[in-house]
Amino acid sequence: MNQMVRVLFICLGNICRSPMAEAVFRKMVADKGLLDVIDVDSAGIGDWHVGEKPHRGTQKVLTEKGIEWETIRSRQVTRQELQEADYVVAMDDDNMRALERLGAPASDKVFRLLDLVDDAPVKEVPDPYYDGRFDHVYELVTAGCEALLRRIERDLAERA
């Protein structure tokens, strides 16, 4: 394949959920040998944490699971990358509304992560910034990322 598939995870501040999803998904992509095919990134709706490392709760969970996170820094999403990404993956309904206001294209390439998980107990990944439930968020993010990778692999097979 000659063009990278670009995946962009979105949450509010880009320090808890979306960097966790970025790190988890990047590891899954690497484990499948697809890093030369799938580009993984994350960003936030707001600019409150730009330049910061992921939240210490996200760091702790990822470190416990042996997942690299050290190069991830919070940043704010741009309108241009919303147009350029192949998959824009939001964590919750508020993120989806914000993406719509930012001009994200209304298409099947913009969706909530847990929309891909048929038997998910919830459809929004809750923000652990407020309740500290980083382990719970990790479980949801992992299920969503597994489903996302299956979808991308199917999409790539259809394009081939």
Identify the active-site residue in 16, 26, 127, 145. Answer: 127
pLDDT at position 105: 79
pLDDT at position 1: 43
Active site residue 16: no
Which domains does the chain carry?
A: 5-159 (3.40.50.2300)
Summarize pLDDT for 5-19 with one digit per residue, the tens.
Answer: 999 999 999 999 999
Type and span of the H or E element at 38: strand 38-44
Active site residue 39: no
- DSSP letter at 43 equals E
Residues 6 or more apart whose Cβ sits within 8 Å of residue 38:
4, 5, 7, 29, 152
pLDDT at position 104: 87
Active site residue 150: no
Let me know: does 13 contact 48? Beta carbons within 8 Å: yes
pLDDT beneath 70, residues of the chain: 1-2
pLDDT at position 106: 78
Summarize pLDDT for 115-124 with one digit per residue, the tens.
Answer: 999 998 899 9
